[in-house]
Amino acid sequence: MIVASLSFAKEMLVAKDVLEKLGHRALFCEAVPHYSGRPETKDSFEDELKKAEEEGALGDGFSKVAESDAVLVLNYPKNNVAGYIGSSMLMEIGVAYFLNKKIYLLNPVGRDQKYALEIALVKPVILDGDINKIIYMNI
């Protein structure tokens, strides 16, 4: 299961292709293809909530985490935060941890970042920006 901020939907599509070329089956939320062609917008809270409810965002993500052997978190820099982890990403990481899934982070998370303690507790494998390292790891 590929997890990331939907502002990185295009990157999620690329990661899916890379993982599949490495011999993995890769999943992500149903909304990803829709967001990959959409420019970043600043919708109101109500509009974002309505879209998320219509897409079944949480349930879809959690189900796919449960179906997967591992979770790859594409934590690219966002909002001037290196290795950004958003709240939805954290929830999916939490589900993966609870279900004893392997958790991979594309980039390290600094100790001063929001959720740094929670991320450290799940003991993810840090790929140091190289998704190709997954081929060498036993998942």
Split into its structural domains, the chain has a count of 1
Q: Which two tokens stand for residue 7?
A: 């502002």
Own/partner pairs for 126-130, CB < 8 Å, 24+ apart? none
Domain ranges, residue 110: 2-136
Tens-level pLDDT at each residue, the chain (139 residues): 999 988 898 999 999 999 999 899 999 887 787 776 655 555 665 665 566 556 655 667 899 999 999 999 999 999 889 999 998 899 999 999 999 999 999 999 988 888 999 999 999 999 999 998 886 555 4
Task: Specify the CATH number for the domain of residue 14.
Answer: 3.40.50
CB 109 within 8 A of CB 115: yes
Prediction pTM value = 0.84
